[in-house]
Amino acid sequence: MLLLAPVAVLFQQAHPTSDDRASVQRERDGARYLRPLGQVAVALVDAQSAAVAGRPASGEPLKEAVAEMAVVDTRLGGELLARERWAGLRAKIDALPNRGADEAADTMATYSEAADLLLGLYRKVREASGLARDSVADTYYLQDGAAEELPEALVNVGRFSDLAMIASGQSSEHHELTIANLGTYRSDALSSADDLIDDLLAAETENVSLSSGVLGEIDAFQRAMETLGAVTFATKAKPSPAGTAKPTSNGKGDNSDDADPAGSGHSAATSLVVDVAQVRAARTTAQDAAAKLNTAILNELDGRLSARADDLDGQRRRVLGVTALAVALAVTAVWVALPRRVRRRRRAGRRDTSSLSSPMVPQPAAPPALQSRGGVHPQAGYPALDEDSDPKHWNRTNAAR
């Protein structure tokens, strides 16, 4: 038993290794699922921008991204518990409108619903695959950047850009709400971008060597976000048409000044002042860099997970090999340690069994008359002759003897 105890310990070590291997494989499946999902995110933001601006745009990029995503979902969606969420997102994308600029606000709201479903699918895949619970620092930072911070930054940049375009072409008495929404979208985008950069820097600290191309895309993305952060927007009163009287408190026309008299209950129309061209340029740069970063980060993540899986496979093979060798040595030691007397007893028992099974030759019994007068001849089994017997008086039996 003392010899088998180390064997049992080694064998038990193989089981957690198998569990770790299965966990790594699920994470790799999650990373593979995220790759086409990133293409859907980029195509969806592009389609939103075109629809909100009223520009004619081909829906082929989004259709191709959806078709590729559907293939991957068929293979991995069930294991990652993402199939139902993807079906809901796909149905929403298929129903997206292609409206004119006069309905841009409603169009943006509909696309925002699809984007929310997209971000929800990202979260589901991270949780179901175990990527969100990865205990290794480098892979955790990489997956957090690719599956959380980057998609959120991409979606919020698109919302900021499109809302700025909508508001800049409209007059409204409620631009304060629009400015508040612009500030929220920009703040969320910048926060996600900062977290993404922090993730990548932390991953590089954990012995992840990012390529020069990836570092270049990080710089481009960061510069684009800084440009968005520097965009200013404000409202100004629109001039009234010449000869048009503004209502006063007594209801009479008065063109004496541009501002509405205090207490009139009316306010002048205002417009949002924002450099839309600057916003669009920064958005395009950020989106292109984000698409390339998504591919680069996921490639690095998959490479790290693949190396970890290979290490676990090698460790499991070593444990099983040592276990098999230990079992063989233990069996040999037990066999050699058997008492020799036990083996001798086994051999003696086999000989006794063999002798008992051989036939016995019966010996003839002595005549009764001779048994009373003498012993049995030691060789033939006949009674011995009396020493005083005279051969002359032998009978036939004695003569025969």
Expressed as residue numbers, the domain containing 167 is 4-239+269-320
- What band does 59 get if pLDDT is binned at 50, 70 and 90? confident
Identify the residue with better confidence: 38 or 330.
Answer: 38
CB distance 147 to 34 below 8 Å: yes
- What band does 392 get if pLDDT is binned at 50, 70 and 90? low
Does 366 reside within a domain? no
How far apart, in whole angstroms, are the C-alpha atoms of residue 344 and residue 350? 10
pLDDT score recorded for residue 272: 73
Does 367 reside within a domain? no
Identify the residue with better confidence: 361 or 60.
Answer: 60
| Residue 1 predicted with pLDDT over 70 | no
| Residue 73 predicted with pLDDT over 60 | yes
Domain count, the chain: 1
Average pLDDT, the chain: 77
Interior angle at CA 294, CA 299 and CA 141, nearest 5: 75
- What band does 150 get if pLDDT is binned at 50, 70 and 90? very high
- What band does 140 get if pLDDT is binned at 50, 70 and 90? very high
What H or E segment, with its residue span, contains residue 237? strand 233-237
Neighbours of 159 (CB within 10 A): 25
Does 378 reside within a domain? no
Average pLDDT value for residue range 151-164:
95
**CA 130 vs CA 27, 136, 304, 307: distances in Å:** 6, 12, 15, 17
Does 194 reside within a domain? yes
| Residue 245 predicted with pLDDT over 60 | no
Does 251 reside within a domain? no
Question: Token pair of 126, please?
Answer: 């991270």
Helix axes 137-144 and 4-53, enclosed angle (nearest 10): 20
For the beta sheet containing 171-172, the strands, ordered from the edge strand earlier in sequence to the opposite edge, are 171-172, 270-274, 233-237
Identify the residue with better confidence: 242 or 286.
Answer: 286
pLDDT score recorded for residue 177: 82
Does 326 reside within a domain? no
Residue type, 47: A
Q: For tokens 């490479």, what's the residue?
A: 303
| Residue 288 predicted with pLDDT over 70 | yes
pLDDT score recorded for residue 38: 96
Identify the residue with better confidence: 93 or 4.
Answer: 93
3-state secondary structure 47-70: HHHHHHHCCCCCCHHHHHHHHHHH
How far apart, in whole angstroms, are the C-alpha atoms of residue 2 and residue 187? 66
pLDDT score recorded for residue 213: 72
pLDDT tens, 173-213? 667 788 889 999 999 999 999 999 999 888 877 666 777 77
pLDDT score recorded for residue 390: 57
Q: Is 365 helix (H, G, I), strand (E, B) or coil?
A: coil
Specify the DSSP class assigned to residue 211: -
Does 79 reside within a domain? yes
How far apart, in whole angstroms, are the C-alpha atoms of residue 148 and residue 126? 9
| Residue 322 predicted with pLDDT over 90 | no
pLDDT score recorded for residue 36: 97
pTM for the complete prediction?
A: 0.71
pLDDT tens, 24-40? 999 999 999 999 999 99
Total residues found in the chain within this entry: 401
Does 388 reside within a domain? no
Dihedral angle, C-alpha 237, 240, 245, 246, nearest 10 ° = -20
Highest mean pLDDT among 190-194, 224-228, 316-320, 360-364: 190-194
Identify the residue with better confidence: 7 or 116.
Answer: 116
